[in-house]
Structure 1
Amino acid sequence: MLAVLGFVATLTLVTGLIHFYLWRRLVRDTTRPGRSRRAGSLLALGLAVLVPTTMVSTRSAGMSWLAWPGYVWLAVMFYLLVVLVVLEVPMLVVRLVGRTRGRQVGTLDSVPVTAPAAAAAGPPPTELPGGRPADDVVPDPSRRLLLARGVAVFAGLTAAGVTGYGVRTALGPPRLDRVRIPLARLPRAMDGLRIATVSDIHIGPLTGPAHTARIVELINSLDADLVAVVGDLVDGTVTELGSSAAPLADLRSRYGSFFVTGNHEYYSGVEEWVAEVNRLGLQVLVNERREIVTSGGVLDLAGVNDATGETAGVSGPLAGPDYDRALGDRDPGRPVVLLAHQPVQAQEAARYGVDLQLSGHTHGGQLVPFNLLVGLVQPVVSGLGSVDGTQVYVTNGAGFWGPPVRVGAPPQVSLVELRAG
């Protein structure tokens, strides 16, 4: 409970500060005191309240209608912030240039007079009309207002355009990424074994069974040897989303379909979802491994729980990852592929000589330039990388979390082809 309250408080503080900045640039700087500024201020306040309200309440019964406006505004807010922050430097330069020119004009307009003439004219004026000090040369307020409005229009159009493109991308069909990965211990006779990999489907308030069915159809078209679903399948309970997950029962592969938990399963009733996924025909790897026996040899396929299980208050087998249980006491001559939701888990997996880890979690960043922040906490953001000698392939995910928006990281299903190294 305390963790939830802390999250809500932090979210409210951050979004409040962001909206205060947006209010300054888009309302205060672009309007004169009066009705327009009051209306803009009320709108900014309402949008500031909308964001945490959406993220807290959309999983409650009867509140899903709030998801679309709330999450779309979250994306628009993000890109308004990015554009305006980027424009701060050129705006500062323009203001400095304007002040410099104003001082130069003020100097040129001053007319030198002789001492007698100056005495006859009396003491110099100390104020200009309107009460402004004579030596206080500032840029023309109307020009400053025009500049602020131009920046606001540009930022608004850019944020709206990028968000619209991102919505279209996120709601479109997943793209297929084909990657060949050599494994030194893979027998020649197993060369070409193919694993259809998908993560972060995020069945939730903005998706339905059609979203899941489209992903299943793409995976089935690949005729893969194995299917790996590496976490974050859902954002809600089995009662709320069971019907939307039902198409997973149609998954087809030669040697089976497998699943490991992601952090969002722990927010959505992990025990019930593990039972439901098993019922749908996927084999849930709860800190365990399976021998994949083919005509060409044997591959160890292991899976570990997401690290969130360590702090989610879950007891028993689902209480966090247990690498020794999944990877210990195995034949070191066999190749081993590990399914683990977060790429950072490879730091522990590498100690067990894992050849390849398949992960998701990052969404490829989902919203550029957010991918730069993701890279600070995850060793691989998208595609193939290496962690302490273990190869790590990270798929972008086939769904989205929060805003139904993807920019620079399209939804993805990956076909991993193992090659004998």
Structure 2
Amino acid sequence: MVVVFVLIAAAVLAAFAALHYYAWRRLVRGTTVKGGWPRRIGTVVFVAGPVLMFAALAAERAGAPFVLQQVLAWPGFLWMAFALYLLLALLVGELVRPLLRRFLDRGAPAAGAAEGALVRVPVPEMRELAPVPGIGRAAAPTRRLVLARTVGVAATVAAAGVVAGGAYGVLRGPTVKRVTVPLAKLPRAAHGFRIAVVSDIHLGPVLGRGFAERVVETINATQPDLIAVVGDLVDGSVEDLAPAVAPLARLSARHGTYFVTGNHEYFSGADPWVEHVRELGLRPLENARVDIGAFDLAGVNDIAGDNYGEGPDYAKALGDRDTSRASVLLAHQPVMIHEAVKHSVDLQLSGHTHGGQLWPGNFVAAASNPTLAGLDRYGDTQLYVSRGAGAWGPPVRVGAPSDITVVQLASKQA
């Protein structure tokens, strides 16, 4: 098993290095003069970017001093997103290069030609001048150099624009989505019951207290009957992030705020976080169930807890309930829907996928989850998956805007 892991890791690193080398050749080597300062700076950037990215990942997982995590996180994680879209832009550039080459080779109308006549004149071959001692390399770029620089600038601007737009979308805070879910067993008196679903806030080295305040304000503005925090609240320890999560104490709903663990809570220490959110006024559902009156609300630990002896226990949370009553299950990962179906749950509320977060990551996320985002049905059980309020890694979303969802329950008897 260890040998397989090492081989897979080596293959991933080799592919990562090869892709960066390709980007360096196109953007730095192919557009600059050997020995010049632009090439030196470009090379430093293409070395520093990946180093900072891996350092940011390692610092977070190793529990490095929080200040160091913050220093590394912004440049490291932004490079992760920027490198992805730079590579995609360069691949598009490979497709348009032949068209640009034809354009540069077209020439221009000859001077003195008769009016209305079209004369094709080949562009004279432009060559770099030999360097002059004391002055440096001269200035007439070849067509190949013009082409390389045009594609390189366009790819860089496109990638930077996509990342900047995606970062703005995250930092301004999630928008509110509303979805109505009919439940056959829901009594008429509970028709219109509103649950504010928030998942994947990911407070940590990048998203801090200010972001948490925006999330709380957005949730409270919807005036929900109940709030469900469906995992991946944090990326870090209670000691480091207690000030960041403090605004959650202001969450307000008539029937309270409930919390279940996500996989990232187990990376950070799930037990201390469960106790801390309890102190903030949230009620953890650790394989437990509560009677809301009109329906049963249950919650199970995330499947990542299996590695710590704290995994989901569906029998404990759901096994002895009255199945004639409507039930809502909080479970972080959509793949837990299959157990929900077995236990006759009416609605499961999940997160985890981020909707893919960074296109084309949505294709990967869709392949590993039964539902990527939105409302779906599995037998008699419905599943709603939120795209999440925050972001993991790069504070960037492309093609998967963040959300807080108000799920309004509807009685078929109404």
Tell me the TM-score normalized by structure 2: 0.83
**What SS does the corresponding residue of 1:330 show, helix, strand or coil?**
coil
Which of 339, 342, 346 aligns to 1:348? It is: 339
Match of 1:68 in 2: 74
Match of 1:128 in 2: none
Match of 2:248 in 1: 248
Q: Deviations over 1:357-401 (max 9, x none)?
A: 111111122222221221111122221122344211111211111
Q: Deviations over 1:314-342 (max 9, x none)?
A: 13xxx211222212121111111111111
- For 1:84, the aligned partner's letter is L
CA distance in structure 2 between the aligned counterparts of 1:386 and 1:158, rounded to whole angstroms:
38
| Residue correspondence of structure 1 range 207-226 to structure 2 within 5 A | 207-226=207-226
CA distance in structure 2 between the aligned counterparts of 1:50 and 1:14, rounded to whole angstroms:
18
The range that moved more, 15-24 or 319-328, is: 15-24
- For 1:300, the aligned partner's letter is D
| Residue correspondence of structure 1 range 379-418 to structure 2 within 5 A | 379-418=370-409
Match of 2:91 in 1: 85
Q: Deviations over 1:224-283 (max 9, x none)?
A: 111100000000000000111111111111112100000100010111001111111111
State yes or no: 1:320 paired with 2:311: yes
**What SS does the corresponding residue of 1:33 show, helix, strand or coil?**
coil
State yes or no: 1:309 paired with 2:305: yes
Taking every aligned residue pair, what percent have the same amino acid on both sides? 49
The range that moved more, 322-331 or 410-419, is: 322-331
CA distance in structure 1 between the aligned counterparts of 2:303 and 2:18, rounded to whole angstroms:
31
CA distance in structure 1 between the aligned counterparts of 2:331 and 2:14, rounded to whole angstroms:
33
Question: Does the CA-based 8 Å contact 1:8-1:52 persist in structure 2?
Answer: no
- For 2:44, the aligned partner's letter is L
Question: Does the CA-based 8 Å contact 2:50-2:76 persist in structure 1?
Answer: no
CA distance in structure 2 between the aligned counterparts of 1:301 and 1:359, rounded to whole angstroms:
14
Q: Deviations over 1:6-35 (max 9, x none)?
A: 698677545423312211221233234333
**What SS does the corresponding residue of 1:87 show, helix, strand or coil?**
helix
Match of 1:127 in 2: none
Question: Does the CA-based 8 Å contact 1:15-1:51 persist in structure 2?
Answer: no
Q: Deviations over 1:75-131 (max 9, x none)?
A: 111110122223333436777x89xx9xxxxxxxxxxxxxxxxxxxxxxxxxxxxxx
CA drift of 1:191 comes to 0.8
Match of 2:49 in 1: 47
Q: 4+ runs of 1 displaced by more than 4 Å?
A: 5-14, 92-95
State yes or no: 1:260 paired with 2:260: yes
**What SS does the corresponding residue of 2:324 show, helix, strand or coil?**
coil
Match of 1:23 in 2: 24
Question: Does the CA-based 8 Å contact 1:181-1:416 persist in structure 2?
Answer: yes
Question: Does the CA-based 8 Å contact 1:234-1:265 persist in structure 2?
Answer: yes
Shift in CA distance, 242/8, structure 1 to aligned 2, threshold 3 Å? farther
Match of 2:145 in 1: 145
Unaligned runs of 5+ in 1: 102-140
Q: Deviations over 1:258-316 (max 9, x none)?
A: 000001000101110011111111111111211111xxxx30111111111123xx13x
**What SS does the corresponding residue of 2:367 show, helix, strand or coil?**
coil
CA distance in structure 2 between the aligned counterparts of 1:235 and 1:14, rounded to whole angstroms:
28
CA distance in structure 2 between the aligned counterparts of 1:239 and 1:363, rounded to whole angstroms:
26
**What SS does the corresponding residue of 1:402 show, helix, strand or coil?**
coil
CA drift of 1:410 comes to 2.2
Match of 1:34 in 2: 35
- For 1:241, the aligned partner's letter is L
Match of 1:187 in 2: 187
Match of 1:371 in 2: 362
CA distance in structure 1 between the aligned counterparts of 2:18 and 2:292, rounded to whole angstroms:
52
**What SS does the corresponding residue of 2:368 show, helix, strand or coil?**
coil
Question: Does the CA-based 8 Å contact 2:186-2:326 persist in structure 1?
Answer: yes
CA distance in structure 2 between the aligned counterparts of 1:249 and 1:387, rounded to whole angstroms:
35
State yes or no: 1:360 paired with 2:351: yes
- For 2:332, the aligned partner's letter is H
- For 1:41, the aligned partner's letter is T
CA distance in structure 1 between the aligned counterparts of 2:283 and 2:99, rounded to whole angstroms:
60
**What SS does the corresponding residue of 1:302 show, helix, strand or coil?**
strand
CA drift of 1:169 comes to 0.9
- For 2:55, the aligned partner's letter is T
CA drift of 1:205 comes to 0.9
Match of 2:136 in 1: none
The range that moved more, 189-198 or 145-154, is: 145-154
CA drift of 1:173 comes to 2.7
Question: Does the CA-based 8 Å contact 1:277-1:283 persist in structure 2?
Answer: yes
Shift in CA distance, 57/39, structure 1 to aligned 2, threshold 3 Å? same
CA drift of 1:196 comes to 0.7
Shift in CA distance, 243/212, structure 1 to aligned 2, threshold 3 Å? same
Size of the alignment, in residue pairs? 369
Q: Radius of gyration: which is bigger?
A: 1
Match of 1:130 in 2: none
CA distance in structure 2 between the aligned counterparts of 1:409 and 1:161, rounded to whole angstroms:
16
Unaligned runs of 5+ in 2: 107-140
**What SS does the corresponding residue of 2:358 show, helix, strand or coil?**
coil
**What SS does the corresponding residue of 1:375 show, helix, strand or coil?**
helix
Shift in CA distance, 93/328, structure 1 to aligned 2, threshold 3 Å? farther
CA distance in structure 1 between the aligned counterparts of 2:22 and 2:52, rounded to whole angstroms:
16
- For 1:30, the aligned partner's letter is T
CA drift of 1:201 comes to 0.9
- For 1:52, the aligned partner's letter is F
